[in-house]
Structure 1
Amino acid sequence: MTVNAPTKDQLKQWDQEDKLNWTRGEFEIPDARKCGAKVDGDAVYFCGNSLGLLNKRAREHMMEELDVWSKTAVTGHFKHLYGRPWKHLADPMLPTIAKLLGAKESECAHSSTLTTNMHTLLTTWYAPTPKRWKIVIERGAFPSDWYAAKSHPGLHRNVLSEEQVENAIIGIEPRAGEELLRTEDILKVLEDNKDEIALVWLPMVQYYTGQKLDIPPLVKKTHEIGALFGLDMAHGIGNVKMHLDDWGVDFAVWCTYKYLNSGPGGTGGFFIREGLSDNGRRLAGWWGVNPKTRFDMTEEFDPTPGAQGYMHSNTGVLGSIPLLATLELIDKVGFDNLRDKADRLTGALDALLRQSKYYIPADKIPKDGEDTKLGFHIITPELPYRGTQLSLFIHPGTKGIMPRVFEKMVDRGLVGDERFPYVIRLSPVALYNTFEEVGRAAAIVEEALAEVEAEGLGK
């Protein structure tokens, strides 16, 4: 759904009328020069899809935890100066996390990191047989997912032949000449391999293109063929609405340092559908023990009911506590309100970029060998198949132009994200970005391209 491009006055007015304009004041906005810019003032930070900003309350929470560590040491596990005993670290976080996922609290665990959690889930639920052993995953998946999925068939050489190990991965990809995955193509792959697929693993939002997948029909088909469905929600949680229980997703993982602002390397989490049997394949650890008996130190493993029974070690406090500030803020403003604003921010950016003289519409995108004109096209789909991200494919794509354009953008204070070799990702986040920043970002893209053009493409 393309909207009319707003004027500067309209963007300013939208900020004034925005009922959520106060949430920007809850965050520490990066300094442009310290981000590498050649201008003063705040950076135009459109990189929340990679690392979210520091919530001011998160800084306070961190100092409080250091205070507890300093003054009470080990007793902070049980008696906490600020009412957050470390033994129950995740308790105030899980209700909001569950709401963001459309899940029950008992199906959610706050623990470890995305890839480690993915390995835990695959070890438990990828149980191949000689007849059903294949894993479906997108060929353009984030590398960590691809590496993790490809590593598991080789752990089952007692069951699978070497040929099966080598051919266990079904990598789905867009059609030739296209950039987005088609639901009907994924469904066809599932149907064509229905007797051999053990597990389907897909993203909620594709990290490179920003495409939000249509999950319900994919889950339905996966279950019809007798396989399990796993979901990577790294770019989904805190970004788009999800209904894991209604959709029937079997298990999922996420990180929290993007749209939930937990800080670099912040603790992630996982979801396990209620009633999903592990057939005795659980990897047990002390923190998965029922909290009522955990400190009895018995030899018998008494698991916490639900997803938290699959946790291993105790969760790091300092990698977790910044998350609480964002979850408290989301609870206060309502995620639906954030999602509405995010759609408006992204829609305004999309409309302004399409006004650029460097914008290349879909019917003008050059084919291989014809890419000689400086410009960009937007590979992210329109609503409802996107979240808070637009991915710009920079042309020409054969002469290292994208890094030059990206450098010019940073010079002017716009912090986005470059994905080699051709894409720049921009993500206006509703919690701390403004409509006026959207206008400035679009202008910077134009200025950066103009400067590259003036220098010459062959430089």
Structure 2
Amino acid sequence: MIFQNTPEFASQLDAQDELKHLRSEFIIPQHNGKDAIYLCGNSLGLQPKATAEEIAKQMGSWASKGVEGWFDGDEPWLNYHQQLKSTLGEILGANEQEITVMNSLTVNLHLLLVSFYQPTAKKYKIIMEAGAFPSDQYALESQVRFHGFDPDDAIIEIHPRDGEYTLRTEDIIKTINDNTNELALVLFAGINYYTGQFFDMPAITQAAHAVGVYAGFDLAHTAGNVPLHLHNWEVDFACWCSYKYMNSGPGGISGIFVHEKHFGNTKLNRFAGWWGNRRDTQFKMAKGFEPERGADGWQVSTSPILLMAVHKVALDVFNKAGGMLSLRKKALLLTAYLEYLINNISSQQGQAIFKIITPTNAEKRGSQLSIICKENGKVIFNYLTENGVIGDWREPDVIRLSPVPLYNTFTDVCKTGQLLSTAAGI
């Protein structure tokens, strides 16, 4: 498509947008009495309008039924999480048994590492991307220390080549192959939070399996953002949060994926809890943990119904979108339009005012552009904020902007481009 830097062109794209009706499902933050331009869905998604109603519904069940709410009513709480699995399966490319909804992201990462990081004296190292989100770094540091290893030795971080901002898949695979004899696990983000790079998950998984180790992924910036095929890619395990692209509230409920090939693997350790026990024997209250088949067997604690209610409403909006492929089609166009507008500023100025460090190949990124400001970065970011654009600042010089197809418009993107152009002259 040949883009144009005009409000009229943006309005034309909005008129043609088959998903434009979804914006009305969300509450848009206000700025000076008007809708703000919200480009921070990579940090916290917007609130669906139906959220308060669903929470009130569950509060009503609690008020009217008390403990019987676990077993009585249209949506008994005991199996409430099961109704979330169908949509999550479509978002993640997974079988329903391979998914469960529980806890928060880093808690789930630790629980999965109990199962999938079982180092020996010789094979104890973990490969991850350099510059991973700190939660992943801290989790792995503590895990290797727990097993008696030094993080500086046990964790291999892969850095971009000199002068580059993102990783090459061939360098990731080479690092895996070069450390075969000592490697115990490969753990990557699906999408790097800082650069927005969408890693080649199937290639990384295949390379890990070729040397006999597990491959796991933190999908915090990936789930609900790009189409995934976790089952077919034979990913061993994954976890994610629901409060970014899945719009399920600040600190919202997390989830895990465990490939079905591991369901019968009795050699996998796990931390057990009553909620993960076999459903048919759960209320016998007997000693001796017997896990429920599937990812549900990794559950530990009682389901937080109010958090799941928020998640359910957000997933219902995904159903109205007609699937991840429809969302991806719009996301690619939104992000490409923002990229065009940013590059157009540098062309008009005759110098590189902004440098996009997110991959230019649209298939290697999600709904995010990370922009280095050559100078006055914080001033430019503050100007956007003062004019109703809600984005994200990362030290020392990066602005992250994330146009989300569920609720952002091409007019949002066009106005942001105009504001960036004005700010570039500050």
* Superposition TM-score tier, normalisation by shorter sequence: over 0.9
User: Where does 1:49-448 land on structure 2 (aligned, <5 Å)?
Assistant: 49-80=42-73, 83-157=74-148, 166-276=152-262, 277=265, 279-334=267-322, 335-357=324-346, 375-382=353-360, 383-396=362-375, 401-448=376-423
Cα deviation digits, residues 276-334 of structure 1 (max 9, x gap) = 22515121101101222222222232211011101100121122211112211212221
Distance 1:206 1:111, change over 3 A: same
Task: Give the AA of the match of 2:111.
Answer: T
Give the C-alpha shift of residue 91 in structure 1: 1.2
Contact kept? 2:342, 2:354, Cα under 8 Å: no
SS at 1:257 equivalent: coil
Q: In structure 1, how many angstroms separate the alpha carbons of the residues matched to 2:278 and 2:423?
A: 56
Distance 1:207 1:165, change over 3 A: closer
Cα deviation digits, residues 341-400 of structure 1 (max 9, x gap) = 111111111111111147899xx76xxxxxxxxx2111111211111011111113xxxx
Task: Give the AA of the match of 1:211.
Answer: Q
SS at 1:171 equivalent: strand
Task: Give the AA of the match of 1:270.
Answer: I
Q: In structure 2, how many angstroms separate the alpha carbons of the residues matched to 1:168 and 1:110?
A: 30
Cα deviation digits, residues 238-258 of structure 1 (max 9, x gap) = 000111111111000100000
SS at 2:30 equivalent: coil
Task: Give the AA of the match of 2:389.
Answer: L
User: Where does 1:6-85 land on structure 2 (aligned, <5 Å)?
Assistant: 6-32=5-31, 39-80=32-73, 83-85=74-76
Task: Give the AA of the match of 2:85.
Answer: L
Contact kept? 2:189, 2:218, Cα under 8 Å: yes
Task: Give the AA of the match of 2:195.
Answer: T
Provide the residue aligned with 1:371 in structure 2.
none
Distance 1:95 1:360, change over 3 A: farther
Q: In structure 2, how many angstroms separate the alpha carbons of the residues matched to 1:233 and 1:16?
A: 32
SS at 2:188 equivalent: strand
Give the C-alpha shift of residue 54 in structure 1: 0.6
Contact kept? 2:346, 2:354, Cα under 8 Å: no
* Aligned Cα root-mean-square deviation (Å): 1.7
Cα deviation digits, residues 42-66 of structure 1 (max 9, x gap) = 1100101100001011221111112
SS at 2:365 equivalent: coil
Give the C-alpha shift of residue 40 in structure 1: 3.4
Give the C-alpha shift of residue 403 in structure 1: 2.1
Distance 1:166 1:336, change over 3 A: closer
Q: In structure 2, how many angstroms separate the alpha carbons of the residues matched to 1:137 and 1:3?
A: 38
SS at 1:332 equivalent: helix
Distance 1:340 1:166, change over 3 A: closer
SS at 1:241 equivalent: coil
TM-score for the superposition, normalised by structure 2: 0.95
Q: In structure 2, how many angstroms separate the alpha carbons of the residues matched to 1:303 and 1:176?
A: 48
Contact kept? 2:220, 2:239, Cα under 8 Å: yes
Distance 1:166 1:355, change over 3 A: closer
Higher mean C-alpha displacement, 206-215 vs 273-282: 273-282
Task: Give the AA of the match of 1:312.
Answer: V
Q: In structure 2, how many angstroms separate the alpha carbons of the residues matched to 1:239 and 1:219?
A: 20
Provide structure 2 residue ranges, at least 5 long, that are not aligned to the other structure. Answer: none
Q: In structure 2, how many angstroms separate the alpha carbons of the residues matched to 1:261 and 1:280?
A: 33
SS at 1:245 equivalent: coil
Cα deviation digits, residues 68-98 of structure 1 (max 9, x gap) = 2222221111113xx2211112111011111
SS at 2:82 equivalent: coil
Q: In structure 1, how many angstroms separate the alpha carbons of the residues matched to 2:411 and 2:210?
A: 48
Structure 1 outlier segments of 4+, above 6 Å:
358-361
Task: Give the AA of the match of 1:313.
Answer: S
Higher mean C-alpha displacement, 71-80 vs 127-136: 71-80
**Identity percentage over the alignment?**
41
How many residue pairs end up in the alignment? 422
Q: In structure 2, how many angstroms separate the alpha carbons of the residues matched to 1:169 and 1:146?
A: 9
Q: In structure 1, how many angstroms separate the alpha carbons of the residues matched to 2:102 and 2:365?
A: 27
Contact kept? 1:139, 1:172, Cα under 8 Å: yes
Contact kept? 1:288, 1:309, Cα under 8 Å: yes
Q: In structure 1, how many angstroms separate the alpha carbons of the residues matched to 2:137 and 2:2?
A: 36
Contact kept? 1:136, 1:170, Cα under 8 Å: yes
Contact kept? 1:3, 1:348, Cα under 8 Å: no
Give the C-alpha shift of residue 124 in structure 1: 1.5
Q: In structure 2, how many angstroms separate the alpha carbons of the residues matched to 1:326 and 1:319?
A: 11
